[in-house]
């Protein structure tokens, strides 16, 4: 029987589908990134959105062990999860500071993003008990968040030296990758540097200036400055158009057991809606994953140009005839398996290659990581052993060491 890859001893409470995350691969990727940085440049591991689906707590711990200096999250609740799990490293919250969150920032020692003069004004009026570390976000062309360059300079002039507001950093975010539009990135960087030099001219020094995320980190070494903010590369993926520039390992595998096997004969149908009619006898396997796990779903994209539109239409025409273009969604030991009929909420039928595929065989399943359901159990691996488990029904404290579960 195909067992899929070498079967690791997993506790039976895991159930029939799970995500395997290789924390050694995460550490390897952090080490590769650090090789590109000069020793003075800090590395922020971006662990927003539950660590891009991998598990923010586990990725944070692995990245910090491998030498990351700081963590980046989007919201305070994401930061709180880390603090609750005893992650003590500095955490920058990207969402601009809101006055009502002041106590959380101070009690949990989060670093705040200041993104508008208005929010900053309220900070000045507050009688803070302790000093709050802030990074100023400057809008240089993305036009999503951040102060305008002039405002940023004014703001620093007002708060510099204030004992309750420590301006530790200043940053901006690029709207495109350098490979998509290098000029635009250069222009954003120039605007940012103008802010930096007018601050320096006035005698204000801000220790952590940062602009690069994964793509600019690879292409624009002269923009690394005091810190880079890295997500994508840590998770073993490349920004679009940057494939294989540095060696990375993919830490992510979704696996499922075949839970039922049967033969279906010509003329019979498979799945909801009876959309799929069998032409010649097939042996099928049922796997316990579906669209509730984000299996078979993708973010809706608008066509970028006319050619793109044509491609999309042709894909839909193929799909109408039951031919799915693109990446295979299910594989059994490297063999792609055809999905038959509609993908259900939590069950999907696949065509089996031979009698060796049976109930209990393990398949790997393609699910886009950033929107993979957090209900899928995560199994954390290091040195080919299970070192932790996160299940949706348990408290985070059920992350256990090998041998502790029964």
* Residue in 80, 164, 160 with CA at minimum distance from that of residue 122: 164
Buried b (16+ CB within 10 A) or exposed e, 318-357: eeeeeeeeeeebbbbeeeebbbbbbbbebebbbbbbeeeb
Q: In whole angstroms, how close is the CB of 99 to ligand PLP at the nearest point?
A: 21
* Binding-site member from 140, 213, 294, 361 for ligand PLP (CB under 6 A): 213
Site string for ligand PLP, 329-368 (x = CB under 6 A): ----------------------------------------
* Residue in 398, 353, 359, 358 with CA at minimum distance from that of residue 378: 398
Indicate whether 41 belongs to the interface with ligand PLP (CB under 6 A). no
Burial of 31 from C-beta contacts in 10 A (0-12 / 13-18 / 19+)? exposed
CA angle 319, 323, 325 (to 5 degrees): 85
For residues 35 and 395, which CB has a smaller minimum distance to ligand PLP in the complex? 35
For residues 173 and 255, which CB has a smaller minimum distance to ligand PLP in the complex? 173
How far, CA to CA in Å, does 166 sit from each of 93, 103, 123, 152, 202?
15, 16, 12, 14, 17
Indicate whether 369 belongs to the interface with ligand PLP (CB under 6 A). no
* Binding-site member from 42, 135, 173, 378 for ligand PLP (CB under 6 A): 173
The residue annotated as part of the active site, out of 48, 209, 255, 257, is 48
* Binding-site member from 94, 110, 276, 295 for ligand PLP (CB under 6 A): 94
Which window, 33-41, 226-234, 265-273, 287-295, contacts ligand PLP (CB under 6 A)?
226-234
Indicate whether 227 belongs to the interface with ligand PLP (CB under 6 A). no
Site string for ligand PLP, 293-322 (x = CB under 6 A): ------------------------------
Indicate whether 232 belongs to the interface with ligand PLP (CB under 6 A). yes
Indicate whether 113 belongs to the interface with ligand PLP (CB under 6 A). no
Binding-site size, ligand PLP (CB under 6 A): 11
Indicate whether 42 belongs to the interface with ligand PLP (CB under 6 A). no
Which residue intervals of 66-206 are DSSP H helices? 76-84, 102-107, 117-125, 149-159, 182-201
Q: Rounded to an integer, what distance in angstroms lies between the CA atom of residue 233 and that of residue 239?
A: 8
Burial of 366 from C-beta contacts in 10 A (0-12 / 13-18 / 19+)? middle
Which window, 153-161, 231-239, 304-312, 384-392, contacts ligand PLP (CB under 6 A)?
231-239
Which window, 34-42, 97-105, 223-231, 339-347, contacts ligand PLP (CB under 6 A)?
223-231
Total residues found in the chain within this entry: 406
Binning the chain into helix, strand and coil, the percentages to the nearest 5 are 30, 25, 45
Q: Catalytic site residue 27? A: no
Supply the residues annotated as catalytic. Answer: 48, 272
Positions in the binding site for ligand PLP (CB under 6 A)? 46, 48, 94, 173, 213-214, 229-232, 239
């Amino acid at each position: 029987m195909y067992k899929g890859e070498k079967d690791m001893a997993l506790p039976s409470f895991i159930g029939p589908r799970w995500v395997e995350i290789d924390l050694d691969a995460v550490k390897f990727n952090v080490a590769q990134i650090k090789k590109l940085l000069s020793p003075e440049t800090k590395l922020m591991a971006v662990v927003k959105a539950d660590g891009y689906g991998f598990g923010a707590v586990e990725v944070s711990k692995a990245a910090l062990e491998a030498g990351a200096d700081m963590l980046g999250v989007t919201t305070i609740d994401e930061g709180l999860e880390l603090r609750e799990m005893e992650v003590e490293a500095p955490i920058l919250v990207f969402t601009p500071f809101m006055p009502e969150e002041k106590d959380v920032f101070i009690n949990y020692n989060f670093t705040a993003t200041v993104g508008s003069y208005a929010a900053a004004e309220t900070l000045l009026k507050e009688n803070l008990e302790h000093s709050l570390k802030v990074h100023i976000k400057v809008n240089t062309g993305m036009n999503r968040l951040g102060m305008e360059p002039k405002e940023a300079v004014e703001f620093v002039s007002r708060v510099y030296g204030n004992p309750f507001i420590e301006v530790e950093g200043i940053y901006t975010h690029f709207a495109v990758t350098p490979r998509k539009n290098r000029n635009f990135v250069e222009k954003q960087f120039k605007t940012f540097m103008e802010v930096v030099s007018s601050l320096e001219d006035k005698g204000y020094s801000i220790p952590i200036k940062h602009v690069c995320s994964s793509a600019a980190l690879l292409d624009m070494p002269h923009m690394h400055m005091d810190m880079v903010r890295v997500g994508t590369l840590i998770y073993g993926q490349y920004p679009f158009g940057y494939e294989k520039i540095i060696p990375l390992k993919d830490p992510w595998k979704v696996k499922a057991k075949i839970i039922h096997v049967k033969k279906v004969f010509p003329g019979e149908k498979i799945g909801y809606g009876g959309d799929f009619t069998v032409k010649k006898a097939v042996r099928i396997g049922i796997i316990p994953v579906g669209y509730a796990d984000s299996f078979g779903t993708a973010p809706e994209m608008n066509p970028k140009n006319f050619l793109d539109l044509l491609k999309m239409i042709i894909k839909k025409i193929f799909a109408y005839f039951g031919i799915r273009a693109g990446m295979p969604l299910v594989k059994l030991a490297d063999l792609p398996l055809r999905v038959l009929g509609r993908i259900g909420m939590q069950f999907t039928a696949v065509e089996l290659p031979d009698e060796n595929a049976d109930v209990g065989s393990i398949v790997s399943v393609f699910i886009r990581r950033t929107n993979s359901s957090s209900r899928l159990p995560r199994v954390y691996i290091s040195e080919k052993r299970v070192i932790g488990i996160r299940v949706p029904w348990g408290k985070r404290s059920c992350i256990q060491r090998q041998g502790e579960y029964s």
